[in-house]
Structure 1
């Protein structure tokens, strides 16, 4: 398949889990990247902060800002050709507490990024990040892109709103947009709120009991490097027929939370018991019971498919966590 030139690239959410891996992969492959990180008074660049402590690559520009500021975005994006939009509020539990902030960031923030892309005469591809959470509990499996969208949490509702905004801008304003819908991405740098790193962390910290929520839910876990390659595959596709469409990225395999716990315990050779905590569960009608992707559409459009098995990805994450004692110490508060 032929590839389109990405030109100068702008990435929102660069300081986050997936965003930082995407930025690193892009600069390692020689692309010129502007990485937008969430403004803070400490001048920190999240997971890209290491680049401020050593010589920054010549093809990387780090900036601080906020996608809720439309004037800032128009000034920053105007000289770019490809935009990856990953910035979002993603913690589902906090969306029950402060839902307005999710709609302001995820919907209005996305609107601001799209307006900046339209204002530019150069942007020829806009990749928007969705989530498998927009599907809610599976009505049929595997889940294709034709599955109904269900807002089962304020977070998922805000992402549905953002997805629909992107679709509308493609249809009504010819924004050259594509929507990537990752299923449960995991890997180095992920928040301790997520189930795989919290299980590994609790075991590595010597806990005899693991605190978890609902054990029966199933997820389709995708290693972060595979997710990053899906982003790039859509950006590089020269087929304009993908514009305005949504694409799932996942492995096409599901596993329950209880079974993922058993797998990690076996890999670390530890016998650990589980303590189920009610506060770790979602409200009953909000729980997404089952997620299993059908990534066929993405494969047919770009040739992308997941390379990492679950065991390979977990081994990579375990190795990284064992070598990042600072990460473990910083995040122990999540399971104390």
Structure 2
């Protein structure tokens, strides 16, 4: 199978690409290498995939916002499946600069959908986000929960879902949107809470909690997210649908910080700062729909996952930590 992974040099995209390579697929990655965080981490992800399957892995540096680049990739590599992971991430960043996420997350997606339709792609998997929900009217979120995003980022992700649904309905392009709930794990973005907490604790600094620490998050381990994506190679269920991809439960940010402190053995106490604008108070996924349609079964609890991440961080600290600090 010839599979395009957009954003495949990033955290989630590189894990999806590596899993596809391990299954024997031909993978082309399109990534702009945007310096939203330290690009050296992305280069390391590309190198890892190249080592896995040098003759089945193709890297193209370019942006999904460039129509000519997108069209050339589909032409040159005979793309059959698309895993669309590329995005301008960051709820807080989008508040400061809404134009960039709009261009990448909406216009870029539209370029890909047009090319996928023209080239009769067999399936288009769109990476969406729990940020589409916004205020929690009830928990856990099921897919029927109102979608009232609190940030431009969330708006772009919900818009992308609508575009995917419409292309399924009017062009018969098989699309699925996966609503990720805070994905974490090895090689994760440096500007995430778990990375920051771990980095600070290992250098003897206290983790910084924004707000009172009682906000809750549904953190999803990267291996569970990869399994959900790969399941869509094996079924034609869920075309035109959006579904939650979450974990086995939730944790308060305060409890998360305390768990990282315990795992690192740091002699520190959390410190508190003002809450950040546009952050959701709570997130919690009902994954019943994904369980029914793609047999999704998250297996890694947040405490298990954090323990695994801290162990990975310590093993890779020499190269990873300077990049975390630089971001």
Checking the alignment, whether the CA contact within 8 Å between 1:16 and 1:46 is kept in structure 2 is no
Tell me how far 1:56 sits from its aligned partner.
Answer: 5.2
SS where residue 35 of structure 1 aligns? strand
Matched, 1:102 2:98: no
Mapping of 1:165-176 within 5 angstroms?
A: 165-176=163-174
Q: Which moved more, 1:150-159 or 1:165-174?
A: 165-174
Secondary structure class of the residue paired with 1:111: helix
Gaps of 5+ in 1: 1-6
Q: 1 CA distance for matches of 2:258 and 2:192?
A: 16
* Corresponding residue number in structure 1 for 2:10: 16
Q: How does 1:10-49 map to 2 (within 5 A)?
A: 10-38=4-32, 46-49=43-46
Of residues 317-326 and 127-136 in structure 1, the stretch that sits farther from structure 2 once superposed is 317-326
Residue 180 of structure 2: aligned partner: 182
Q: Give the drift of 1:318.
A: 0.9
Q: How does 1:169-248 map to 2 (within 5 A)?
A: 169-207=167-205, 209-214=206-211, 215-239=213-237, 242-248=238-244
Extract unaligned runs of 5+ from structure 2: none
How many Å separate the matches in 2 of 1:199 and 1:39?
A: 25
CA-CA distance at 1:40 after TM superposition: 6.8
Show the counterpart of 2:323: 330
The worse-fitting range, judged by mean Cα deviation, of 307-316 and 9-18 is: 307-316
- Following the alignment from structure 2 to structure 1, what is the Cα–Cα distance between the partners of residues 15 and 214? 30
- What residue in structure 2 maps to residue 4 of structure 1? none
CA contact (8 A) 2:198 2:310 kept: yes
> 2:248 touches 2:301 (CA, 8 Å); kept in 1?
no
2:135 touches 2:149 (CA, 8 Å); kept in 1? no
Q: Deviations over 1:106-139 (max 9, x none)?
A: 0000000100101103x11000010001111321
Equivalent residues in 2 for 1:1-336 (5 A)?
7-38=1-32, 46-51=43-48, 57-78=54-75, 79-121=78-120, 123-207=121-205, 209-214=206-211, 215-239=213-237, 242-278=238-274, 281-283=275-277, 286-324=278-316, 325-333=318-326
How far, CA to CA, are the matches of 1:306 and 1:111 in structure 2?
Answer: 31
Distance in 1 of aligned mates of 2:231 and 2:50: 31
8 Å CA contact retained: 1:142, 1:252: no
Coordinate RMSD, CA, aligned: 2.1
Asked whether the equivalents of residues 178 and 243 of structure 1 are also in contact (C-alpha less than 8 Å), the reply is yes
Structure 1 residue 267, shift from structure 2 partner = 2.3
Secondary structure at the counterpart of residue 323 of structure 2? helix
Q: Is the contact made by 2:21 and 2:52 (CA closer than 8 Å) also made in structure 1?
A: no
Alignment size in residue pairs: 320
> Shift in Å at residue 287 of structure 1?
2.8
Deviation at 1:296, TM superposition (A): 0.8
Q: If the length of structure 1 is used for normalisation, what is the TM-score?
A: 0.89
CA gap of 1:69–1:220, structure 2 versus 1, over 3 A, is: same
TM-score if structure 2 supplies the norm length?
0.92
User: Partners in 1 of 2:51 and 2:174 — Cα distance?
Assistant: 36
Please state how far the C-alpha of 1:156 moved relative to its aligned partner: 0.8
| Distance (Å, rounded) in 1 between the aligned partners of 2:319 and 2:284 | 34
Residues 40/198 of structure 1: CA separation in 2 closer, same or farther (3 Å cut): closer
